[in-house]
Structure 1
Amino acid sequence: MFKNYVKIALRSLQKNKVYTLLNVTGLALSMACCILIFLVVQYHLSFDNFHPQRERIYRFVTEQHRDQISYVATVPLAFGQAFRNDYSFSEKVARIVTFDKELVSVVSGHEVRKFKEAAGVAFVEPEYFDIFNFPLLQGNKADMLSAPNTAVITESLALKYFGTVNADGKMLRINNKIDCRITGILKDLPANSDHHAGIFVSWASMKSYNEFFAASDSWGGMSSPLQCFTRLRPGVTVAEVEKVLPAYVTRYRPKSKNVHHYKLQPLSQVHFEARYGGAMEKRNLWVLSMIGVFLLVTACVNFVNLATAQALSRSREIGIRKALGSLRGQLFWQFIAETGLIALVAMLLAIIIATGMLPVINNWFHTKIVLSFMHDWMLWAFIPLLTLLVTFLSGSWPGLILSGFKPVTALKGKLSASHSSFAPRRTLIVLQFSVSLVLIIAMIVITRQIKYASHSDLGFDKDAVVMIGMGSNFYDNSKAQTLRKELAALPGVKNVSMCYAAPAAPQIWNTTVKFDTRSEEEIFKVSVKSADESFAPTFGLQLLAGRNMFAADSNNQALINETMLRRLQLSSPEEAIGRQITYDVNKVMIVGVVKDFYDRSFHEAISSVMITNQADQYTDYAVKINMKNLVKVVPELEKKWSDMYPEQLFEYQFLDESIAEFYDTESTMLKFIMTCSFIAIFIGCLGLYGLVSYMVAQKTKEIGIRKVLGSSISGILWIFGKEFAQLILIAFLLAAPLAWWLMHTWLQDFKYHIQLGPAIFALSIVIIAAVAVITVGYQSLRAALMNPVTSLKAD
């Protein structure tokens, strides 16, 4: 019986090639998107789920309660050691400090090869490899990082540096500061882990590498490179641990207004909590999943529309089969077999499309997803389940309709509109339009928000500014000033400033301050930006009162912004001039007030900013150039820099590019939503084609009569036009409230955002209307131009 179903199905599909092609195309595109979305969601949900006892692994994080609550994925330097000594809640506690983009040098005789590792170099306590499951290929985990100046590296780095995995005992130089002997080789870290460093240096080496992080008894400052992990003992609850943590605040920070609330963050949430720097929020995965469902439903709706539009042409076939004794169930399963063949072919094509698109998706989402049937049992289960789901979603309703035809009526060719369910088909078209409209509105809103964030006046000049990292391991004023003058003298260079990052940058140095004669620290944080006297003119900062900083050898001057002025409760910029600010161990005098500028992304409010000439904190040269001379200037910058710092690697980035990275997640989602919108619209067009085909078939004689009675072509076109105008209007009324709510919620993540005005919704309906006109225009015009004699003779 099944063999017979397949044989008949093949004959039917071969006979109706256009019908088959349209359905296969629509289903293949939607199924390809579903496969890609499944892979992306599966990839992110799998992060760090391969560690034993992962349900007992936590990261210590901090809520900082000031005038507002802020969240940081770190704790004070002394916290880890204190917790290890004071309490027995944990089996293991380990601190890790990761320095990004550190220089790694490999010395071989007189040859020195230099590498910049984007994943960074991590200094870890030995317990780190007891908590996390990163298998060793060589070395003894018990003592491999017990001594100073020892390190373990991954197998891929061993091959990269030494050409062999057997690198035990070989030497690495880290940032021209310390030489480390390799005592172990790790298996390459999985891509689905938030731990990316490929070089792990012993914690005992920190003292000679970085004095700040070596101060393990410090409860003052916190720095984001430091993270502290623990694996709790069986039976220990989060509530038990968090109950004792406030004691550290009262014991070690009794005078601070910055009340720290130390918390435990489960390892399963590290990848997803955006407030603590998580890479992918779970709601984004929900959005992707819903888009996949929408596309699948749209494709199935399209299939149903095309199948029911074809019902009239198959009515006599069904009538004959019933007259010869076929049962309704047999006819139903015959149609399901046809649908299954289409779904199977569509799935094979979808796998090919998904495989071809996967490198693009990996590039967009910065992932390393592999489509592997050999090692992914979940993909093995998902593919057939999706095929079966599509088969029954698409085939059940048309199968019931076709198998329900009465033989006499079908053989006489007298099926009415009710037989082919024209009203439900309109509902399905409305559903398709609604999905497309929601995606179009989302695409418009995200595009405008990114454009708004990228092209708004940020309060400083971000164009034609090249940020170049300083080459010294420590601040050498003489050397830095010499290079600055040489860079400024180059043709095409307008200005050069030495600073700690640009006005808007991911690097943030927050601290507490004491204002003038006030006895207590201010309750708010201040973002300190160390910079020289050229900072304001290089970035075009607008001075509201006072003067710019003078060149000086000591950090005794400061500029503040309007936001800090307001938080200090000063009535005018002039009132701040000459007043003193105390922060850390430094005292500076306010010499000027600058107009507010956006120091972070549009997700966050403008901070209280203080610009001070603390030269030992400078990390970058900011070079303002003439873009007309770009081709010549950059090589000259590299030459001058390399002559001054031959032991380092030259790296630079344009400031506008680094600011664009603030919205990397939004840009990725936009690309994906745009792609899905085009696919949804294309599939919707196939559905429209099915509906207009049905309407033309139903109204052929009516059109002929109208033409004989003198109806114009425009009048006949309006017969079709008003039908689709009504459907589009109904779809818009359904989609607009949902789209408004979704995008209003999305925009709340931005402190500064566009308004959801009528123009956005008007543009969406214009787009969908234009698509509808183009889609139905050919069939409608063809029907309107048909010879009335031919129309009246039609069966």
Structure 2
Amino acid sequence: MLRNYFLTAWRNLGHNKASAFINIIGLAMSITCSLLIFMFVSYHYSFDGFHPDKDRIYRVFTEFNDETVFYSTGAPSPLGKAFRTDFTYAEKTARIVSYNNAIMSLPQENGTPKFKEEPGIAFTESSFFDIFNFPLVLGSKKNILAAPNEAVVTERIAAKYFGSAQNAIGKTIRFDNKVNFTVTGVLKDLPSNSDTKTEIFVSYNNLRQQNPFTGSDSSWGGVYGGSRCYLLLRPTATLAQVNQALNLTVKKYYKGKDLDVWKFKILPLDQVHFNDTFEGSIDRKYLWALISIGIFLVITACLNFINLATAQALHRSKEIGIRKVMGSLGGQLFWQFMAETAVVTFIAAMVACCLTLIAIPYLNQLLDIDMKGQLLGNPRLLLFLSLLSLVIIFLAGSYPSLVMARFQPAVSLKGKLTERHIGGFSLRRVLVVTQFAISQMLIIGVIVIAGQLRYSTTSDLGFNKETIVMLPVPVPDRAKMSTLQQGLKAIPGIEKLSFCLHAPASLGGNVTGLRFDNRPEEEHWSTNALDVDNEYLSTFGLKLLAGRNFFPSDTAREFVVNETFLKKMNVSNPRDVIGKNLSLGDGSRKGPIVGVVKDFYTNSFHTEIAPICLMPNYYNYINCAVKIKSGTLRQTLAAAAHKWNEVFPEFVYSYEFMDDRIAKFYKQDTVILKLVEVFSLIAVFIGCLGLYGLVSFMAVRRTKEIGIRKLLGAGLQQILWLFGKEFSLLLIIAFVVAAPVAWFVMSRYLEDYKYRIHMGPGVFVLAILSTFIVAMLTVGYRAIRSALANPVKSLRSQ
């Protein structure tokens, strides 16, 4: 019986090639998108899931409760040791301090090769490898990083530096041209779905040589974002106990106002990847948005199938009548038509698998991820594909099968079936409206996200970012910086340059407390202390509102603040703060405020402008901002590279444009925009396939009517309107449904931005116009073919 069902289904598909092709393409596109979305979501949910004790691993973070609450991804470096000593709630406690863009060299090799490792280097306690599952290929886990000046590297780094893992053991690597480490172990390459990206781990005992403050066990007064503390809690430990222990830690090691300001909390490992506050890779709500889009695409393709199947039911009425007269039962006819749906879905699934395999490399490149392109070797993906196919068969096939199985044989054989018997054209109206409502919601989403990104990257940021290149300053050597400055200024293509800690808008920062005008207590808010030289304002085009720039100096003696700093002080007139004394942090940096600059954006548009305090301090200059004359970019960069290499021959040269640095703020939004753009185009394409099929059905059903109208003098315009008026009304209804839903969803999206665009009428007008244009092109092509047909042949064929 089953064999007969599928043989008959195959023959029927051969008789209706056009509709079968439309259904297969539509379903294949939707299944492909669903597979890619499933793989993308699974990829992100798999992060750090390979650690055996992942449910008991937590990361400590810092919460500051001043005038506003803000967070640091890190924890003070003494915290891990104190928690390990004072409490027994953790089986293991590990401290790890990471530094990105590490300069590594090989002093034992010929020519001392140099490498710049963007993921950096991590000063790591040995217990880190007891908490996390990063197995050793070579070396002893028992003694890993136990002694000073030891290092372990991944297989990739070992092969890159020494040719193989075996050759790496016992070799010396040098960090930052200062500290030598002996490779005592080689780790298996880190999985791509790990948030740990560092591939060079060195002994925590050497941290003091890199940073005496961070390496100290008494440095409770500051937090470096790269200083992390991980806990492997005991199975019996509760979160309430750990939180209480962290509160007791604050009471033991802090005093005065700091008792209320400092808080330590823990974040489960499975939330790290999704927490945007703590540098997570992607927000869960974006993944749910993609899942919703995948569901919409499947629904759109199923609606196409239902539309075309019910439209064709009239053509199959005599077949159904004969089958019933010959003794076929309604249930048998139902399963016959379901078998046809299953065949179409199976073919579409096979096509989708091929399309998915083709698309994965491009998607990996587009999104800068590493999803594995395996289908047969992925049981979860095969299970998802099987379940998805069953759902599609049920959704797409059940209604048309029920309708056709219920045809009365007498009415069917007489050819008196009408659209009323198959649900009427009103049903297909509802389906078309649903399809295009989904398409228009996606189009509105694309317009809003693209508009916000355009606004974020093209708005006036309060500083000049055009043709500014950031060069690294590897070491705080005053003589070398002076030599580099003189060499760069001699290059004709360079207009201005400035040494600084960071650019005006940066992910980095140095948040610290302050005391204003010799007040007895610190303010209940913090400022971002930005170390810059006296050329900073002119290089970036910052505008002074009052006072002057500070005089050239190597250390902080004078300060320049921004407007937000004044707002925090409840000062309205910038002149009122000129000459007032300011003390930062522990009081080691103090002096008068000599200038006030107009506000500039200090981070992405997701966050508010922070209070800024500019001051000189050459020891913290890690960047050199160079403004290049337009039209001289290539030759100027080449000359700058030559000068830089003369001054820092032992380091690796690199540079970054300010535009690229700012674009990193919106990396997550850019990824989502690319995906929504692709899926929106596919949704519109699937909708147009169905629309073309329906118009073709209408043209066949109304061939005689069109012929008569043409004989009576109807022109091309009237015939086109005969097709267009129906679908124009449906598109308007779809827009009425889609607009409020899209407005609500995109309003929630824009709430993530402190500075955002306004969703005006233009967004919705553009959405409906674009849908109209595409739909009218689809309808118009088939309608013109019918309108230009010879009416004599049309009437004769009837």
The answer to whether TM tops 0.5 is yes
Hey, what does 2:102 align to over in structure 1?
102
Residue identity over aligned pairs, in percent, reads 44
Asked if structure 2 preserves the Cα contact closer than 8 Å seen for 1:543 and 1:594, the reply is yes
Q: Deviations over 1:384-408 (max 9, x none)?
A: 2222222222222222222222223
Hey, what does 1:306 align to over in structure 2?
308
Hey, what does 1:568 align to over in structure 2?
569
Hey, what does 1:379 align to over in structure 2?
381
Hey, what does 2:537 align to over in structure 1?
536
Asked if structure 2 preserves the Cα contact closer than 8 Å seen for 1:249 and 1:259, the reply is no
Residue 324 of structure 1, CA deviation: 2.3
- Say which SS state the counterpart of residue 468 (structure 1) adopts: strand
Q: Deviations over 1:137-164 (max 9, x none)?
A: 1211121211000011111111111111
Q: Of 290, 293, 296, which residue of structure 2 is paired with 1:291?
A: 293
Q: Deviations over 1:154-206 (max 9, x none)?
A: 11111111111112211111111211111111111111111111111111111
- Paired AA for residue 696 in structure 1: A
Hey, what does 1:174 align to over in structure 2?
175
Q: Of 748, 751, 755, which residue of structure 1 is paired with 2:751?
A: 748
- Say which SS state the counterpart of residue 134 (structure 1) adopts: coil
Residue 600 of structure 1, CA deviation: 0.6
* Map 1:340-739 → 2, pairs under 5 A: 340-373=342-375, 375-421=377-423, 422-472=425-475, 475-584=476-585, 585-739=588-742
Q: Deviations over 1:607-642 (max 9, x none)?
A: 001111111110011000013011111111110000
Q: Deviations over 1:58-104 (max 9, x none)?
A: 11112211111112222222111111111111111101111111011
Hey, what does 2:190 align to over in structure 1?
189
Distance 2:246 2:107 in 1: 46
Distance 2:376 2:701 in 1: 51
Distance 1:315 1:720 in 2: 25
Decide which moves more: 73-82 or 316-325. 316-325
For the aligned residues, what is the CA RMSD?
Answer: 1.6
- Paired AA for residue 180 in structure 2: D
Distance 1:509 1:763 in 2: 44
Decide which moves more: 23-32 or 244-253. 244-253
Residue 712 of structure 1, CA deviation: 4.3
- Paired AA for residue 524 in structure 1: W
Distance 1:374 1:120 in 2: 36
Kindly tell me the number of residue pairs found equivalent between the two proteins. 793
Asked if structure 2 preserves the Cα contact closer than 8 Å seen for 1:5 and 1:334, the reply is yes
- Say which SS state the counterpart of residue 702 (structure 2) adopts: helix
Q: Of 743, 767, 772, which residue of structure 2 is paired with 1:769?
A: 772
Hey, what does 1:144 align to over in structure 2?
144
Asked if structure 1 preserves the Cα contact closer than 8 Å seen for 2:87 and 2:245, the reply is no
Asked if structure 1 preserves the Cα contact closer than 8 Å seen for 2:455 and 2:756, the reply is yes
Decide which moves more: 658-667 or 779-788. 779-788
Residue 264 of structure 1, CA deviation: 1.5
Asked if structure 1 preserves the Cα contact closer than 8 Å seen for 2:22 and 2:690, the reply is no
Gaps of 5+ in 2: none
Distance 1:573 1:625 in 2: 32
Q: Deviations over 1:462-494 (max 9, x none)?
A: 00000000132xx11111011111101101100
Distance 1:330 1:83 in 2: 71
Distance 1:292 1:53 in 2: 33
Q: Deviations over 1:653-693 (max 9, x none)?
A: 00011101111111111111010010000000011112222
Asked if structure 1 preserves the Cα contact closer than 8 Å seen for 2:62 and 2:72, the reply is yes
Residue 209 of structure 1, CA deviation: 2.2
Residue 374 of structure 1, CA deviation: 5.2
- Say which SS state the counterpart of residue 98 (structure 1) adopts: strand
Residue 309 of structure 1, CA deviation: 2.1
Distance 1:217 1:375 in 2: 52
Residue 349 of structure 1, CA deviation: 1.4
- Say which SS state the counterpart of residue 106 (structure 2) adopts: strand
- Paired AA for residue 540 in structure 1: G
Hey, what does 2:255 align to over in structure 1?
254
Distance 1:565 1:51 in 2: 48
* Map 1:4-15 → 2, pairs under 5 A: 4-15=4-15
- Say which SS state the counterpart of residue 631 (structure 2) adopts: helix
- Say which SS state the counterpart of residue 182 (structure 1) adopts: strand
- Say which SS state the counterpart of residue 458 (structure 1) adopts: coil
Residue 20 of structure 1, CA deviation: 1.9
Asked if structure 2 preserves the Cα contact closer than 8 Å seen for 1:555 and 1:615, the reply is no
Distance 1:713 1:380 in 2: 51
* Map 1:127-166 → 2, pairs under 5 A: 127-166=127-166
Hey, what does 2:117 align to over in structure 1?
117
- Paired AA for residue 496 in structure 1: L
Residue 375 of structure 1, CA deviation: 4.2
Decide which moves more: 31-40 or 698-707. 698-707
Residue 293 of structure 1, CA deviation: 0.5
Residue 383 of structure 1, CA deviation: 1.8
Distance 1:154 1:324 in 2: 73
| Cα separation, partners in 2 of 1:427 and 1:794, compared to 1, 3 Å | farther
Distance 2:379 2:421 in 1: 44
- Paired AA for residue 580 in structure 2: R
Decide which moves more: 580-589 or 27-36. 580-589
Residue 211 of structure 1, CA deviation: 1.2
Decide which moves more: 130-139 or 356-365. 356-365
Distance 1:627 1:11 in 2: 68
Residue 366 of structure 1, CA deviation: 2.6
| Cα separation, partners in 2 of 1:627 and 1:355, compared to 1, 3 Å | farther
- Paired AA for residue 630 in structure 1: L
Asked if structure 2 preserves the Cα contact closer than 8 Å seen for 1:309 and 1:690, the reply is no
Residue 247 of structure 1, CA deviation: 2.3
Distance 1:61 1:757 in 2: 40
Distance 1:95 1:710 in 2: 87
Asked if structure 1 preserves the Cα contact closer than 8 Å seen for 2:100 and 2:117, the reply is yes
- Say which SS state the counterpart of residue 265 (structure 2) adopts: strand
Decide which moves more: 133-142 or 247-256. 247-256
Hey, what does 1:315 align to over in structure 2?
317
Hey, what does 1:45 align to over in structure 2?
45
Q: Deviations over 1:298-324 (max 9, x none)?
A: 111111112222222222222222222
Distance 1:18 1:147 in 2: 73
Residue 717 of structure 1, CA deviation: 2.7
- Say which SS state the counterpart of residue 112 (structure 1) adopts: coil
- Say which SS state the counterpart of residue 497 (structure 2) adopts: strand
Residue 109 of structure 1, CA deviation: 4.1
Residue 437 of structure 1, CA deviation: 0.6
Asked if structure 2 preserves the Cα contact closer than 8 Å seen for 1:309 and 1:693, the reply is no
* Map 1:257-276 → 2, pairs under 5 A: 259-276=261-278
The TM-score normalised by the length of structure 2 is 0.97
Distance 2:173 2:634 in 1: 35
Residue 244 of structure 1, CA deviation: 2.9
Decide which moves more: 780-789 or 649-658. 780-789
Decide which moves more: 765-774 or 437-446. 765-774
- Paired AA for residue 389 in structure 1: V
| Cα separation, partners in 2 of 1:327 and 1:674, compared to 1, 3 Å | same
Residue 424 of structure 1, CA deviation: 1.4
| Cα separation, partners in 2 of 1:33 and 1:313, compared to 1, 3 Å | same
Hey, what does 1:198 align to over in structure 2?
199
- Say which SS state the counterpart of residue 70 (structure 1) adopts: strand
Distance 2:679 2:221 in 1: 49
Distance 1:373 1:693 in 2: 37
- Paired AA for residue 178 in structure 2: K
- Paired AA for residue 323 in structure 1: V
